[in-house]
Amino acid sequence: MAGEAGHVHRLTELLRENADVLIGRWVESAAASTRGRSTSAELERDFRELFTAVLPVASGDGRDLSGNGYAEIRSLLEELSRTRARQNFSPAETASSVFALKEPVFQLVDEQNDQDLFRQVLGFSSLLDALGLWTFESYSRARESIIKEQSEQLLELTTPVVKLWEGVLAVPLVGTLDSARTQVVMEKLLEALVETGSEHAIIDITGVLAVDTQVAQHLLKTVVAARLMGAECTISGIRPQIAQTIVALGIEFGDIATKATLADALRHALRREGVDVVRRGDGVKR
Amino acid sequence: MERVPILKIGGVLLVSIQIDLHDQSVLALQEDLAERISATGAHGVVIDISAVEIVDSFIGRMFATIASISRLFDADTVVVGMRPAVAITLVELGLTLGGVRTALDLERGMRILRVLGQESGRIPAGDPTGLEWS
């Protein structure tokens, strides 16, 4: 990686000698684009670390960025991209913090007026380009993993199966229903039916914002699957607008029981279980 | 070819499928069952598929076929113990087993047959469990 064997890489020397000035200018030009989301002190700490890691590889041109020599700078940049991704920086902003080092370096080399240095700074420039692209890549990887985590959490969080009564389960659905979520709901509900030996399930869609043909299809499939296993499914919480949509779309629920509220559905299930709910004669609260 | 055993408990025939079903064994089961219902005059058939993990459309149709056969001998059919994955598969295959009763487990299936038998008078009044009758 060393430019010429035995020789000291002039640019590396120059960078080392002027480290403080360069970092200062680097921070200054990068701070403008962070718009106050990172303080100058934070930037300076990050950049000083990066700068120290860049020095040993400054004589390379970044073509073999995945090689061992670049391991340290790579992991530093990955870390930077990850934190930036979590702080809602855009990938361009993240990469431009790396590119921001170019200007002060060019300026410095310009002042030296030395042909050798000019050639070396060209190599250094392509190294920085490669590093910038690396941040871009790690940024999108970090973003993807965050999105994946969140969607998994969402799936887990939003589909609880609750027991309302001995033999009566309910799934309160909230938000938007898509194929993936309905699949999870379906599996969780059916497994809970087997585990608890429940013969009644209520799917409550009070919190569902919209029902289209696809969602209705998924709901119907769940109900039919439950029926195949020997359990009865009721759909409750159909809001007036959704009822209108369902009728307008021509969706047929057939012989599947639908109720206006969860309470109605529970009463229906209890009656089928052979339980009657009655008010005590005196009607006095105790 | 493996055959599925058919057990008789009172007026009920119990078919417990413990093997991987092939088309041949399905056909054999249908024949055997028809003969046994005809010979015993059973009022109900329980098909326990709690050990079945894989189904295809042919097996899916088997339930409906068995139910139709039993119906001809005036016997009710209950499929019990279907696993969630199997239920989802059948729904995705578009098989809804119309006309076949289902129950979560064997106990509930037997209860359904008893109620159906008593309602239709096929179980004599003096036999509350429906199991002594044969």
Task: Please indicate, yes or no, if residue B23 is contained in any of the structural domains.
Answer: yes
Supply φ then ψ for residue B100, to 5 degrees: -105, 130
Instruction: Write the CB contacts of A238 (distance below 8 Å, at least 6 apart in sequence).
Output: A205, A246, A258, A260
Please say if the pLDDT value at position A9 is more than 60: yes
Name the burial class of residue B29, with classes exposed (0-12), middle (13-18) and buried (19+) by CB atoms within 10 angstroms of its CB.
Answer: buried
Q: Which of B87, B92, B101 is opposite residue A190, by nearest beta carbon?
A: B87
- ipTM value for the complex: 0.79
pLDDT at A21: 85
Under 8 Å CB pairs connecting chains A and B tally to: 56
Task: Please indicate, yes or no, if residue B25 is contained in any of the structural domains.
Answer: yes
Q: Which of B90, B91, B105 is opposite residue A197, by nearest beta carbon?
A: B105
Band of residue B80 on the pLDDT scale cut at 50, 70, 90: very high
Q: Which domain holds residue B67?
A: 6-119
Task: Please indicate, yes or no, if residue B130 is contained in any of the structural domains.
Answer: no
Q: Which of A190, A197, A221 is opposite residue B84, by nearest beta carbon?
A: A190
- Asked if residue A174 lies in contact with residue A160, where contact means CB atoms within 8 angstroms, the answer is no
Q: Does A193 touch chain B (CB under 8 A)?
A: yes
Q: Does B59 touch chain A (CB under 8 A)?
A: no
Number of domains in chain B: 1
3-state class (DSSP) for residue A168 = strand
Task: Please indicate, yes or no, if residue B71 is contained in any of the structural domains.
Answer: yes
- In chain A, whose CA is at the least distance from the CA of B92? A221
Residues from chain B that touch A190, judged by Cβ atoms under 8 A, are: 84, 87-88
Q: pLDDT tens-digit profile of B35-62?
A: 999 999 899 999 999 999 888 888 888 8
- Structural domains of chain A sorted by starting position, each given as residue range(s) with its CATH number in brackets: 10-152 (1.10.490.70), 162-273 (3.30.750.24)
Task: Please indicate, yes or no, if residue B46 is contained in any of the structural domains.
Answer: yes
Please say if the pLDDT value at position B128 is more than 80: no
Supply φ then ψ for residue B66, to 5 degrees: -60, -40
Task: Please indicate, yes or no, if residue B56 is contained in any of the structural domains.
Answer: yes
Task: Please indicate, yes or no, if residue B132 is contained in any of the structural domains.
Answer: no
Q: pLDDT tens-digit profile of A243-276?
A: 888 888 888 888 889 999 999 999 999 998 888 8
Q: pLDDT tens-digit profile of A28-86?
A: 888 777 666 777 888 888 888 888 888 888 777 777 777 778 888 888 888 888 888 88
Task: Please indicate, yes or no, if residue B134 is contained in any of the structural domains.
Answer: no
pLDDT at B121: 81
B105 contacts A227? CB cut-off 8 A: no
The CATH number of whichever domain residue B48 belongs to comes to: 3.30.750.24
Q: Does B53 touch chain A (CB under 8 A)?
A: no
